[in-house]
Copies of this chain bind each other. A is one copy, B any other.
Amino acid sequence: MQCGLKITVIGGGSSYTPELIEGFIKRTNELPVREIHLVDIEEGKEKLNIIFELTKRMIRKAGLETKIYQTLDRKQAIKDSDFVVTQIRVGGLKARALDEKIPLKYNVIGQETTGPGGFAKALRTIPVILDICREIEVLAPNAWLINFTNPVSIITEMVLKHTNVRTIGLCNVPIGMINNIAKILGYESSRLRIDFVGLNHMVYGKKVYLDGDDITTDVLRNLAEGNSITMKNIPDLVWDKDFINALGLLPCPYHRYFYMTDEMLEDEKRALQEKGTRAEQVKRIEEALFNLYKKVELDVKPKELEERGGAYYSDAAVSLISAIYNDKNEIHTVNVHNNGGIVDLSEDVVVELNAVIGKSGARPIASGKLPIQINGLIQAVKSYELLAVEAGISGDYNTALMSLMSNPLVPSIKVAKKILDDILMANVDYLPQFNK
């Protein structure tokens, strides 16, 4: 038996990988990583190589002995891994651009993870993650799958329902909210804690604590006064004061798509005119990043990566890996089986909750009943997600239609059908389950 951990990063050629590597380097003392395998597909070969070289420079600079590998042979990489991290984007930014454009044609929010865009992404991603899980089941049955491939809720739900792989779904929204509030209020973010409850990209902060003291009222007042909590990729629309008071909870940035649908739609349409889809913007950012990554003198994670949008994601992943490996029993906000954590939802559905993380995985903290003002929306989105998993697995047209129609952002059957037909057409190469 060998010493130290084997980590496999699927989608290793992603621009996020340097943050992940930095995360491992920072935690050298607690996480003995023996080898890191960066896996990608043929189309990503070039990027993979750039990342591989940068990674090696970073490791060398840090004076570590961790071995780095690059490969297109996923199975070989997965074999005997301790942790498998997935950060893939099936269909690439081209598919994402379509996810964002197609709904807009019908005056519906076009967003990567939420609404019909996220639905299309789920349909493309499910077959690939399912394949990966089948390989893990055989080649690394004790491995943890740390998934931050979106839509995290649907993917985690699928893995827990249809495979035997141990998985935790991870998102940077909760940590991003904490950091934002810390910045607004002028505190160290480590002093803040939020009781999160809900679903991925549909998570609410029930209570905010500063050093354990309840400061929820202050935070809501700040929000109601126009201080915004948002993320790089979501327009910074200000919350209505009365609404925040009525809600009495902290919404997440993505909630804007549901509560300010009209304004967000206008913003998206305007942005499309002015600067193209978010996918196209990201493409330009990515090109710039990779140009930077190529420079042989670069041997640390460049600051520019933080502009990319997914800040904290990779670091949260490594922090989670360390909590598992070291049985830290510390609290992370993750996507896991509900297990009673939210009384109003079945035990066997995936929710996003604070959970105690240790070697045996994530144990959610019981949060009781959902406040009535959020129960409806959460139930609606959860039903949509469950149907999306079913559609993504079965490739059944009607289930897909029912799923889309159940998404609160989709206004009618007629529109649902048009969007669905467009999605199936545009993604035909990535949807084997619909083309049996």
Binding site for B on A (CB under 8 A): 193, 195, 207, 209, 211-214, 240, 242-243, 245-247, 259-263, 326-327, 329-331, 338-343, 347, 356, 358-360, 363-369, 372-373, 375-377, 379-384, 386-387, 397-399, 401-402, 405-406, 408, 411-415, 417
Contacts and interface: CB of A to CB of B under 8 A. Distances in A.
A359 B412 contact: no
Contacts of A240: 413-414, 417
Contacts of A342: 340
B212 A359 contact: yes
A152 to B, nearest CB: 19
A284 B365 CA distance: 45
A412 B211 CA distance: 35
Contacts of A413: 240, 243, 259-260
Given A240-B417, A259-B412, A376-B384, 8 more contacts: A212-B359, A242-B398, A246-B401, A260-B412, A260-B413, A373-B406, A375-B383, A376-B383
A360 B246 contact: no
Which residue, A195, A358, A373, A376, has most C-beta atoms of chain B within 10 A?
A376
A262 B343 contact: no
Contacts of A193: 327, 329, 358
The 4 A-B pairs of least Cβ separation, nearest first, read A212-B327, A212-B359, A376-B383, A379-B379
Nearest to A239: B413
- Copies of this chain per assembly: 4
A205 to B, nearest CB: 14
Contacts of A330: 329
A422 to B, nearest CB: 15
B343 A242 contact: no
A414 B373 contact: no
B368 A340 contact: yes
A194 B310 CA distance: 37
B364 A365 contact: yes
Given A245-B398, A417-B240, A263 B340 contact: no
A212 B360 contact: yes
A15 to B, nearest CB: 33
A193 B386 CA distance: 31
Contacts of A245: 398
Which residue, A331, A343, A358, has most C-beta atoms of chain B within 10 A?
A343
A363 B365 contact: yes
A101 B29 CA distance: 60
A122 B331 CA distance: 36
